[in-house]
Structure 1
């Protein structure tokens, strides 16, 4: 017999269910909408919904590690489907090339909506236990594999060669910035998408991909809006300061010099990051967003650790039609060891190890005024003025529309404009009904963008 308990995470009001039996405790936190977000396309989602009935499955079983079932298809033998609950992954022996397939989606949907139809057992069939063992062995191998011996002489030559290329590119960037300022920026809107093309290509040739990315961000400026001059000068000033930092890097603190190198385009090997001290915590997925730049899709996943009170940003990059590798959706929770990339203000991170969720979330103390938010932002920028995105949480705010702009107002009466698209703002107002709510968001380039809001123990994710 299962005892169902509703547990609320009071400040942001995340909701999940805990199911308990005599020997196991396992947590089902994915709801129908979140599972359907994992579908590779609408057709798979529709087919998965059709399979989310007990009559479609000859075998339905689960424990704290996995869900598995057998679905009768068109062939003689049923399709064997399994789902890893420790680090969500799917396996099915059906011929579909889609991931997850309709059987995986259907089994997951059925489990989320009707756990009572599943047999709880610690005995797993061979196709499940062997698959889980292989996954665990692969993760262990990746964590413990020894690095191949490095040819230090060859490595030093590569570093020296790149340093020369970057130095040459930096000189050209500084000359280009001087030319732009000397000529003025009045004519930039007429050539918005051409005026930095040549120098951007030169940064790519100089192996300074970070600077090339900074230049491409100029394309995000709307030159038809009032105040574009300030945004453009801010971008150009940042490039100049980076170039100054690079020129004087030997006199900078080690952390600042590392930040400058990262901004230019030097990357830290994944293996090196994985060797750093992890932060073990119960993490909540606050937001998952996608952005496209050329042929590359960037996935940004914001996490928050309940014990450490720290944010973490997971970045994943996908080229072309490459399938997404993560199965994290907004609102779920994970127990994991997180390692941060070295920085003055560590934010970007990686998951070193993920475990079944067993902890209970507690209360989070979050500010109720934008004056506190601004203080936190100022502290972050004082350590690294090039921080692009700064996460925040706030409660007790209200959405308003005035003078053709959207604002949120805190308990002190301070109103700040928000950068959310108009449809998200209307959704925000419809959900809150004009009442106050809590929110998670990101401050980017001085603009506040809300990702999640909650009120009266309910919430909606504005980004999808």
Structure 2
């Protein structure tokens, strides 16, 4: 995949990161810039005694930097890729250093380890390896029995933990939501730790992220939002206890299936269509993982209008990659994780980007009706993507931004929009609605496509 200036701008988390990167394009700030066939790396002198070490993968646009920034990619990684695009000849060809190799090994799983020098490659060793790989029926039976035992222990542990969660929620309501909101972080961490110990990792992550979601709201909105979130947790826990083998409920409580399991599942819904990359949302979670969500919208006759590709990786490993650019279009077959209202998906097959002229589909008159339908099917769901009709983005007297349709529908925005978006005539837009705030992802305006930090 070619590295271009446009691709770098699309990867930037915001305009301030691009502006900061442009200030680092002076060669004097970079005592080292080097490359291999696929990788580039360098050292950028900051305010400290030791320079920051920066590396990037030219093929999938992943990057890593030793700076403390929580933005992905950071200004140093953007500047390194920018300089390579402007003058690749200034990067000296050289052997990949150990710190870059360590990073690539961590982010590429499943690669066979290098063969050590002097390792025995004799025919006898090959026969021994073949013998060891021959299946043993007794061993296979023991493994299956052990797996069933672990599954039963996990079920009993998670079941008890969800009952503890019900008691915890009742305690928060009994003692008052004012006290709950006053000690939100501590109380959520405590029950999340209990759920982690009980192997309900997905549910624990949701509760661990609750403080950041609630505290992002204004003080007068937090009580209602807390009641709604606690209610969704009760419904989710009770639904799982009633159907613990349901794949969607297990995904919400324990963990998600692997990509390979989804692709091999004959019950996984599939959709073949022309897709547009709406945008990306990258969030650093409290557990040290980075959540990278890529939102897609079908432009063809697909029963599934939206799809989201989710990736999780350690913040210490740097950005996993930039396989998509906002606004690009491609034909693909997508497999959805089985669910009542399928949304999360993986790409089964994909063709190259195309310069298609297909228009966005016609938005519904009342886009929030779709959210209500999803909520009836999955009342524990946190948010739903919507296709919005014609309207504008405006601000009230307090400076708070709103989306307003030409028919009078209004919704407050989760994040302040770019200044250029205020007052622009929006033909249609795509966003994510959580029942209280709207997070815009992309919009088609009277002067072109507009991207938001979705």
* Counterpart among 49, 52, 56 of residue 99 in structure 1: 56
Sort the Cα spacing of 1:429 and 1:325 in 2 relative to 1 into closer, same or farther, 3 A: same
Question: Of the candidates 221, 231, 235, which is equivalent to residue 237 of structure 1?
Answer: 231
Alignment RMSD (CA, Å) = 3.8
- Out of 422, 428, 432, the position equivalent to 2:421 is 428
What SS does the aligned partner of 2:390 have?
strand
Mapped pair 1:440 → 2:430: yes
Q: Secondary structure at the match of 1:283?
A: strand
Question: Residues 213-224 of structure 1 correspond to what in structure 2 (within 5 A)?
Answer: 213-219=205-211, 220-222=213-215
Q: CA separation in 2, counterparts of 1:381 and 1:31?
A: 41
Partner of 2:7: 34
Give the Å deviation of 1:303: 0.7
Give the alignment of 1:266-277 within 5 angstroms: 266-276=255-265
Output one character per residue of 1:158-192: Cα deviation in whole Å (capped at 9) or x when no partner.
10110111122122212222222222223223322
Looking at structure 2, the residues matched to 322 and 264 of structure 1 have their Cα atoms a distance apart, in angstroms, of 26
**Cα offset, 1:195, TM superposition:** 2.4
Deviation at 1:106, TM superposition (A): 6.5
Distance 1:95 1:243, change over 3 A: closer
TM-score by length of 1: 0.67
After superposition, what is the alpha-carbon deviation per residue over 1:337-368, rounded to whole angstroms, capped at 9, x for unaligned? 32111111111111233322347241232226
- Counterpart pick for 2:330 among 334, 339, 343: 334
Aligned to 1:415: 410
Change (3 A) 1:425 1:98: closer
Indicate the larger mover: 216-225 or 262-271: 216-225
Deviations 1:239-265 (A, max 9, x none): 211222233227xxx8xx333222212
- How far apart are residue 110 of structure 1 and its match? 9.4
Question: CA contact under 8 A between 2:394 and 2:402: conserved in structure 1?
Answer: yes
Candidates 396, 400, 404, aligned match of 1:402: 396
Match of 2:190 in 1: 198
Within 2, Cα distance between the matches of 1:298 and 1:93? 25
How far the C-alpha of 1:49 sits from its partner, in A, is 8.2
Does 2:349 correspond to 1:356? Answer: no
Aligned length: 360
Give matches, 1:379-390, under 5 Å: 379-390=373-384
* Shift in Å, 1:461: 1.2
CA distance in 2, matches of 1:94, 1:216: 35
| Distance in 1 between residues matched to 2:225 and 2:19, nearest whole Å | 43
The structure that is strand-richer by fraction is 1
Structure 2 residues not aligned, in runs of 5+: 44-53, 59-78, 89-107, 112-134
Using the alignment, how far apart are the partners of 1:237 and 1:193 within structure 2?
18
| Segment drifting more, 353-362 vs 190-199 | 353-362
What do residues 274-308 of structure 1 show as CA deviations (whole Å, max 9, x unaligned)?
A: 22464333221101111111321111100112222
Aligned: 1:302 with 2:291: no
* 3-state SS of paired residue (1:337): strand
Gaps of 5+ in 1: 1-26, 52-72, 82-90, 112-137, 142-147
TM-score (norm: length of structure 2): 0.68
1:437 CA displacement? 4.1
Match of residue 176 from structure 1: 168
Deviation at 1:199, TM superposition (A): 1.5
Residue in structure 1 matched with residue 444 of structure 2 by the alignment: 454
- Report the CA distance shift for 1:311/1:179 in structure 2 as closer, same or farther (over 3 A): same
Preserved CA contact (<8 Å) 1:299 1:316: yes
Q: Residue 306 of structure 1 contacts residue 361 of structure 1 at CA under 8 Å; is this kept in 2?
A: no
The partner residue of 1:375 within 369, 373, 379 is: 369
Q: Distance in 2 between matches of 1:103 and 1:401?
A: 38
Do the aligned residues in 2 keep the contact of 1:406 with 1:425 (CA within 8 Å)? Answer: no
* Distance 1:107-1:361 versus aligned 2 partners, 3 A rule: farther
8 Å CA contact retained: 1:407, 1:418? yes
8 Å CA contact 1:406–1:418 kept in 2: the answer is yes
CA 1:443–1:103: 2 relative to 1, 3 Å: closer
Tell me which residue corresponds to 1:162: 154
Matched, 1:259 2:248: yes
User: CA–CA distance in 1 between the matches of 2:179 and 2:407?
Assistant: 42
Separation in 1, partners of 2:41, 2:186 = 50
- 1:391 equivalent among 362, 366, 385: 385
Greater CA deviation, 169-178 or 312-321? 169-178
Measured in 1, the distance between the counterparts of 2:191 and 2:36 equals 55
Structure 2: distance between partners of 1:266 and 1:428: 39
